[in-house]
Structure 1
């Protein structure tokens, strides 16, 4: 994959790329929104635990497709409370490491279920 951060626009404001091109011939994986629900169906308690569970869920879907974070092309992050951003950002950094997919962060009024604080969806690509 080729990263595109043109010098004619501002540099990314964080740990992401402005654009990524994936060559033809690979496999695409579109990952549905992952939330802080644990394998037993219960909701993790608090934003840090929910973010951790959502990232573990997302990585499980990647692994099931024989992919890892290095294959992420685009990630969208949805948070309810802007005050949760520092905690969420630390969890995100822990899981992404040096990967820099294109990213969008949105603060939303609510998610699909009461109590959900974090949702992450993504697109991945692998040759």
Structure 2
């Protein structure tokens, strides 16, 4: 069982994420490698919002491959190559839409100088348990 907690004694999350994700009695732990905005057919999505959507969909595919779903997510880490208020707002909006009604996982956002290719604007890795 995973408990998603944002204690009153900690700063309130800026959007849909939890300050703490605690797995108790979990028998499986899943580490998902960094997912990028490339569709299963090998094509690259165009633009930050589209790459975010595809990378998050790839996280969903990884979870489904082992019989898990978003309820199993403990943490996501997102790497963006653009450091602007618009990029951060786009990330938060796309992530919040993706999380939806699921318990919001713990989350970290990093702004990086670059990824494996200059065409890549975002990478998402995740940890799940269940």
- What is the TM-score of this pair, normalised by structure 1? 0.91
Alignment of 1:34-73 (within 5 A): 34-73=35-74
Q: CA deviation at 1:3?
A: 2.6
Partner of 2:99: 96
Residue 32, structure 1, aligned to residue 33, structure 2: yes
How large is the RMSD of aligned CA atoms in angstroms? 1.3
Deviation per CA, 1:54-108: give whole Å up to 9, x if none: 0111100001111111110011011011331222222212211133111000111
* Structure 1, gaps ≥5 residues long: none
- Contact persistence 2:83–2:111 (CA under 8 A): yes
How many angstroms apart in 2 are the aligned matches of 1:73 and 1:82?
A: 25
* Structure 2, gaps ≥5 residues long: none
- What is the TM-score of this pair, normalised by structure 2? 0.89
- Contact persistence 2:5–2:21 (CA under 8 A): yes
How many angstroms apart in 2 are the aligned matches of 1:91 and 1:19?
A: 21
Partner of 2:128: 124
Could you say if the C-alpha distance between residues 48 and 25 of structure 1 is closer, same or farther in structure 2, counting changes exceeding 3 Å? closer
Q: CA deviation at 1:4?
A: 3.1
Could you say if the C-alpha distance between residues 25 and 57 of structure 1 is closer, same or farther in structure 2, counting changes exceeding 3 Å? closer
Q: How many equivalent pairs are there? A: 126
- Contact persistence 2:76–2:127 (CA under 8 A): yes
